[in-house]
Amino acid sequence: MSRLTVGSIEGLTENSNVVSVPTGHSLNVADAGGLQIGGSAVVSAGLVFISRTTIGSAVSSVTLSNIFSADYDNYRILISGGSGSSNQFIQFSFPGAATAAYNYQILYGAWNTTTASASGASGAVPYFPYMGTCTPTSLQGCVDIQSPYLTEQTFLGSFYARPGHIGAVTANVLDDTSSYTGVTVSPASGTFSDGNIDVYGYAKA
């Protein structure tokens, strides 16, 4: 059985599997996997914050290094705040991946209509082009990434909203079995500034 060890806190008591923390003090646990209170798990599967990268001023790309590891199989990347030099899509590329490995399909439609148009590409460009948007007033991106670190295909799902239309990328597949530890984020052209890129991992248990 594991044992919880803490530093000296006046009034702290331990009785078998029970730890009592005196009024006015708190107990912080760095790694809460498996922690239970009253017999119920406190932390199980869910999103776990990994890192925040702040975009600099008028930069053409940001590389997120060493964000994928054996700790998690699947990830979410959120882009927010800041601004772009113009209305542009945000792109993701995986360092070292071949152009032919990038495959995607997208559905999009104009605002306030029920008619959708379809556009697709396969192995045409060395990046995934619809991972979010830049506008002169904001940045937006929400991307789920499956298995980037594992030696199997990498899958991405995303959606975007930009002036005039909204889209959902129904499938992004990096068709190789390489293991990746990072990804490069960039506007399709021009620059972006001052936003945040937050990375989360999906806890396995």
Per-residue pLDDT at 40 = 45
Beta strands in the chain (DSSP E): 13-15, 18-20, 36-37, 40-41, 47-54, 62-64, 74-80, 83-84, 88-93, 102-110, 116-122, 128-135, 138-146, 154-162, 165-174, 183-187, 192-193, 196-202
Which sign, positive or negative, has the C-alpha torsion 91, 93, 99, 105?
negative
Per-residue pLDDT at 115 = 65
Percent of the chain predicted with pLDDT > 70: 66
Summarised one tens digit per residue, pLDDT across range 127-175 is 998 899 999 999 999 999 999 999 999 999 988 777 666 666 668 999 9
Mean pLDDT of 31-58: 72
Q: What predicted TM-score, i.e. pTM, was given to this entire model?
A: 0.76
Tokens at 201, concatenated: 């991992």
Distances (CA, A) of 141 to 25, 29, 80, 160: 39, 31, 7, 7
Mean pLDDT of 35-44: 50
Confidence of residue 205 (pLDDT cuts 50, 70, 90): confident
Domain boundary assignment for the chain: 1-44, 47-202
Which stretch of 25-34, 50-59, 87-96, 116-125 has the lowest confidence by average pLDDT? 25-34
Per-residue pLDDT at 148 = 98
Fold assignment, 47-202: Jelly Rolls (2.60.120)
Per-residue pLDDT at 18 = 59
